[in-house]
Structure 1
Amino acid sequence: MDQSQPAADEVPFEQEYRVFQKSWGAEYTAAGEVRFRLWAPAVEMLSLRLGEEIVPMSPTGDGWFELLATNLAPGTSYAFVTPDGTEVPDPAGRALESNVHGPSILVDPTAYRWRHAAWSGRPWSEAVIYELHVGTFTEEGTFAAAAKKLPGLADLGITMIELMPVAAFGGARGWGYDGVLLYTPHPAYGSPDDMKSFIDTAHGLGLMVMLDVVYNHLGLDGNYLSALAPAFFLDEGTPWGPRPDVSKSPTRDFIVENALYWLEEFALDGLRLDAADRIEKDKSEVQFLEDLARRVRQTFPERYVHLVVEDSRNITRLHERAEDNSTPLYDGVWNDGYHHLIHAWATGEHGGHYQAFARDFWPRIGKTLASGFVLQGERVDGKGDEVFGEPSGHLPPVTFVNFLQNHDQAGNRGRGERLWSLIDADLGERLMAMMLLAPQIPLLFMGDEFRSRGRFFFFSDYPEGLHQNDPDERLQQARNFGTEDLAMHEIRDPNVPETFAISKLDWEEAETGTGRATRTAFRDLLEKRCRHLIPLLKDVGGGVGHLLLAEDGRLAVDWQLGESRWQLRANFGEARATLPPVHGMTVHIHADDTEADIRDLSEFRPGSLIVVCG
């Protein structure tokens, strides 16, 4: 597959580094000193432990404390000390000595020399996203081990890696959505330089890297900011931890700088904001999500930097394009409705989250393929008179990130089953072909490329007594993800190390006959997407989708992509059907028929799918 960047072994070692000067935490100055700065309005005095020495910090007003120190080498441990003697790590520290309850360590960000410093990214239209969890992607569970798998993913046609959250959290293992030190890569995965090397290696292979960031709450275990600066958070929290008050400048600056820090110092190609709809409830004149996006766009005008949200509101204002079709705010949004419809139809699971999607399957599947969201300003069964969503057909199809499953959909089921354990292989092949060859941005969960049947659970490492993972709540959540027949005794304890171990991806599965055949078919689909579809998506605008037919498993959708018409025809029903004709070059066929037979759409057989470009 054609990549826009040279292979890693063809690129000279470039003696360049990247540094982001934070306003919080520890920073080396140009003179070689270290400035320590922390907002802690809840305490009258604050000190700093440097090795074995405790040094008073100076208050500078509005709750800020500072200290300038000299002759501190990288690797020096430090912690902030409150009047009662409690020592806490740096909320904006780059690395930890051991865990979130111990001291931070000084890091010189100029120490890592980037091999591919000239990398400027790839257009969003080229994204084929592969979501992975560092701790379970390999047996070792580290950045270094994950980097060794990148050449294989690039060879398949993946163009973007999406890392589940890596911000340091309590314990050794977890999904990462309860991070408490947002600037610190989780120690179990490796050092900051290990993470940079992973990203550097990806860039040498032509792969973008996006990071999942959680700004809607901070976790509970190791959250010392709650004591140092309770004003950092709103009174109204979440089930997973306190919610930052982004209407306050210290809080907003901390989070916006965190986004800029990851993008600059780690050369990331983008961020995916978890549960963005839970962030934007502040009363600020400029809403946080808009402010963050504009700051990112202003800071990196010469690079392709992509911003994606998870947002259950199905709103469009964050994704509107400018007159020149550029992206002022957010490139994309996770399209949960697409997944919910496909899952409910394919598996027959109609409860919980799928209840609102358990009817009119094919008209609605056709609707989301042609025009984006499933819910575009309509009422939902069981939700009263509330209207959900907004019309989205005017947005480019690449606004919508479609997937057949992700970490949530498998891990929250209770039994940890992936989709491939719930449907037959032929149906899986057709659903994958339809997703990969549609103009929306496809997202795969690690193992999808060989249709892994290994289980992926929710796992954690919470201390005893922490009010998390109540069994009744876990059971209800699991039932909401389709497993209505799940019993309490089937719920695995997420805190047991075995739950984490079982969730590791089984790479031997990829080397079985079925695994190899599946990867070959997957590579073929992505080669077709790269060769025939991606060039048509480069400057695609909105209003290009046209739904011709969608009923009883029969599907016909066209997209006008510039001067080319991209045409999808599929028969997921049980009888032969007549579908609208196609014109042009056959890109892909899924059927036992010959090409001549399948193009006769007056006798389109069950189980057939064809994609044509004319």
Structure 2
Amino acid sequence: MNAHRFEPRLTEDGITFSLWAPAAKTVDVMIDGLHAMQRDDAGWFSTHVSGAKGGTRYQFRIDGELDVPDPASHFQPADVAGPSEVIDHAAYRWRADDWRGRPWQDTVLLETHVGTFTPQGTYRAMIEKLDHLVATGFTALELMPLADFPGRRNWGYDGVLWYAPDSSYGRPDDLKALIDEAHLRGLMVFLDVVYNHFGPEGNFLGRYAPTFFSESQTPWGNAIDYRIPEVRQFAIGNALHWLNNYRFDGLRLDAVHAIAEMGDMHILNDLSRAVGEFAKASGRQIHLVLENDDNSATLLDPVTNPPNGKYRAQWNDDYHHAWHVLLTGEAGGYYGDYPTPRSSIARALRSGFAYQGEASAHRDGVLRGEPSGDLSPLAFVNFLQNHDQIGNRPLGDRLEATANFAAIEAALAITLLSPMPPMMFMGEEWGTTSPFPFFCDFRGDLAGAVRQGRRTEFRSAYEKYGDEIPDPLSEATFRLAQLDWSERNQPVHHARLTLVGKLLANRHAEITPRLDGSRFGDASVNDDGLLLAHWTLGDGATLQLIANLSDGVAAIPASYQARRPIWGEIPRDELAPWAVVWDLGER
């Protein structure tokens, strides 16, 4: 690592500011006047400002003509183009100071968006809902990206200042208070981070550090060039920033298949090793998770602790896609890769990925994935809904809008009791009808481009639904995405919440204590939709599933031998439509 670092460094008598700007001739830091910064041969500019302290606001002036925020700003009180603010992280007094985390096998995730999780849309308001998470049975809160984005509302994937939690939700100490209160309740907190691109507005790196980017293209523009040491330093430093200064328990790296890596050492391996060293030094349990359309099993290792170049788990899109096709009948786009969804579900249950090297028709025949059956089941985060799979639909509608009620509950009973770590999207635990449409707050030409892009992407949907499709730039669309917590009191939603609570209580009592050392077994489904699956748990017990994934009655095969039931009633000769039964055979 370079001796310089991107972030401002607080000292006893002031602040040292640094900026890597190899294309700049001069750089000044602006704090009630200009302070000239000295350049070294590597393109780093630095200076020490005596008397400056936490709360100081500053900008960098490039070549006497362009004022920019710090790319590693820790806070932007006036949005992405305004001055950066120095944050004294040591000043926060943690209450859960002895928190060291939880083992990965305990994980039950709830993915959330801070701005729409509560009516207030703030970190502080989320604290009031933490008891709900605990009572339901979640052990981990996951936040969609917080990196400062332009405007007042955004999903978070348009972040341009990676180190600064967005001011729309509160100040840095408010975020720390949320994490602190979660830890006091035994909850882990994860953060979604984006290292494959910067957002389309407010990124000035191309002006003074153009080598930050390569000629390779991503869906969002020129790729970040991780061959450059300073660029690797920026991303790895960001991961450590969130884990150290905010005490997040883990990170979920967004769409790593879109990272255009061109070098011997992949940034993913490098970042994991750095986090592993930090975890070991701090005595904390820290978990790294991937979203990776490539299904690279070789990147996954849920067992080694701390991480050493690999990742605990991957979001298992195959599992979601197969269930979505079965539950809704939709077969367009990537759903076309799952023409026999029950078979794909069975394969995911017996060996992780549904695609382990087979040709993907959606990807024009490209071979996708690697064999994954030798991995632990803990390497796969399974889910039925998430922000992408809801929000990237024209109406942002959830499963409840299209799927059979009994079928959804069967899918939940399988997902929440399987050995793989389960995840739900906020409100799913009570079957909310609140949509989660795409929204942002861009201005001018960019706003128009976003509108046109959505119309092009969903041309047929616009022809069908017209003005029913929410305008992504409208504040009303953002309000539409906010959870309606009063729904929980309605009988149908209360019943769903009760079901999820019972399933998760069962998981924690019967399955979680046995997950360390668990292994895949087998899973198969017949023409009647009867699914049979089993796994070997860490204590040698056998976890067995029998389920009817159809609207008709399914006959029980003579080979089925029931053990001690832990969910549902052991069947005799037949299984009712969408019935799910779990049993446990002790060693």
TM-score (norm 2): 0.95
Cα pair distance change 1:497/1:390, threshold 3 Å: same
CA distance in 2, matches of 1:206, 1:479: 46
Tell me which amino acid in the other structure corresponds to 1:567.
Q
Cα pair distance change 1:35/1:374, threshold 3 Å: same
Does residue 478 of structure 2 align to residue 500 of structure 1? yes
Q: Once the two structures are superposed, what CA deviation does each residue of 1:573-598 show, in whole Å capped at 9, x if it has no partner?
A: 21332244233211111xxxxx3xx4
Which of 341, 346, 354 lines up with 1:374 in the alignment? 354
Q: CA deviation at 1:181?
A: 0.5
CA distance in 2, matches of 1:213, 1:115: 26
Tell me which amino acid in the other structure corresponds to 2:314.
V
* Contact 1:125/1:537 (<8 A) preserved: yes
Aligned residue number for residue 283 of structure 1: 262
Aligned pairs (5 A) from 1:314-463: 314-320=295-301, 329-357=310-338, 359-381=339-361, 383-463=363-443
Q: CA deviation at 1:478?
A: 4.5
Runs of 4+ aligned residues of structure 1 deviating over 6 Å after TM superposition are 321-327
Q: CA deviation at 1:161?
A: 0.7
Which runs of 5 or more structure 2 residues have no equivalent in the other structure? none
Give the secondary structure class of the aligned counterpart of 2:40. strand
Aligned residue number for residue 294 of structure 2: 313
Q: Once the two structures are superposed, what CA deviation does each residue of 1:274-321 show, in whole Å capped at 9, x if it has no partner?
A: 001111x32222111111101111111121100000000111111146
* Contact 2:320/2:382 (<8 A) preserved: yes
Cα pair distance change 1:219/1:323, threshold 3 Å: closer
Q: Once the two structures are superposed, what CA deviation does each residue of 1:321-365 show, in whole Å capped at 9, x if it has no partner?
A: 6789987510000100111010011101111121111x2222221
- Comparing 547-556 with 499-508, which one deviates more in the overlay? 547-556
Does residue 551 of structure 2 align to residue 599 of structure 1? no
Aligned residue number for residue 580 of structure 2: 609
Which runs of 5 or more structure 1 residues have no equivalent in the other structure? 1-20, 590-594
Give the secondary structure class of the aligned counterpart of 2:554. coil
Tell me which amino acid in the other structure corresponds to 1:547.
A
CA distance in 2, matches of 1:99, 1:340: 37
Aligned residue number for residue 545 of structure 1: 521
CA distance in 1, matches of 2:44, 2:304: 43
Cα pair distance change 1:213/1:117, threshold 3 Å: same
* Contact 2:141/2:189 (<8 A) preserved: yes
* Contact 1:352/1:479 (<8 A) preserved: no
Does residue 184 of structure 2 align to residue 189 of structure 1? no
CA distance in 1, matches of 2:8, 2:251: 24
Tell me which amino acid in the other structure corresponds to 1:501.
R
Tell me which amino acid in the other structure corresponds to 1:554.
L
Aligned pairs (5 A) from 1:3-42: 23-29=5-11, 31-42=12-23
Q: CA deviation at 1:236?
A: 2.7
Cα pair distance change 1:606/1:514, threshold 3 Å: closer
Cα pair distance change 1:588/1:327, threshold 3 Å: farther
Aligned pairs (5 A) from 1:47-86: 47-50=28-31, 52-86=32-66
Q: Once the two structures are superposed, what CA deviation does each residue of 1:166-221 show, in whole Å capped at 9, x if it has no partner?
A: 00011110000011110000001111111111000000000000000000000121
Cα pair distance change 1:275/1:222, threshold 3 Å: same
CA distance in 1, matches of 2:178, 2:144: 14
Q: Once the two structures are superposed, what CA deviation does each residue of 1:8-62 show, in whole Å capped at 9, x if it has no partner?
A: xxxxxxxxxxxxx981131102x33210000011110011110x21111111221
* Contact 1:379/1:388 (<8 A) preserved: yes
Aligned residue number for residue 592 of structure 1: none
Equivalent residue pairs, number: 578
Aligned residue number for residue 134 of structure 1: 114
Aligned residue number for residue 555 of structure 1: 531
Give the secondary structure class of the aligned counterpart of 1:557. strand
Give the secondary structure class of the aligned counterpart of 1:465. helix
* Contact 1:567/1:582 (<8 A) preserved: no
CA distance in 1, matches of 2:392, 2:458: 5
Which of 495, 516, 527 lines up with 1:517 in the alignment? 495
* Contact 1:319/1:327 (<8 A) preserved: no
Q: CA deviation at 1:165?
A: 0.0
- Comparing 361-370 with 527-536, which one deviates more in the overlay? 361-370
Tell me which amino acid in the other structure corresponds to 1:205.
R
Cα pair distance change 1:215/1:323, threshold 3 Å: closer
Which of 110, 127, 131 lines up with 1:151 in the alignment? 131
Does residue 567 of structure 2 align to residue 588 of structure 1? yes
CA distance in 1, matches of 2:464, 2:258: 29
Does residue 499 of structure 2 align to residue 526 of structure 1? no
CA distance in 2, matches of 1:506, 1:413: 20
Q: Once the two structures are superposed, what CA deviation does each residue of 1:127-178 show, in whole Å capped at 9, x if it has no partner?
A: 0000000000011110000111011111111001110000001111000001
CA distance in 1, matches of 2:305, 2:240: 25
CA distance in 2, matches of 1:440, 1:196: 29
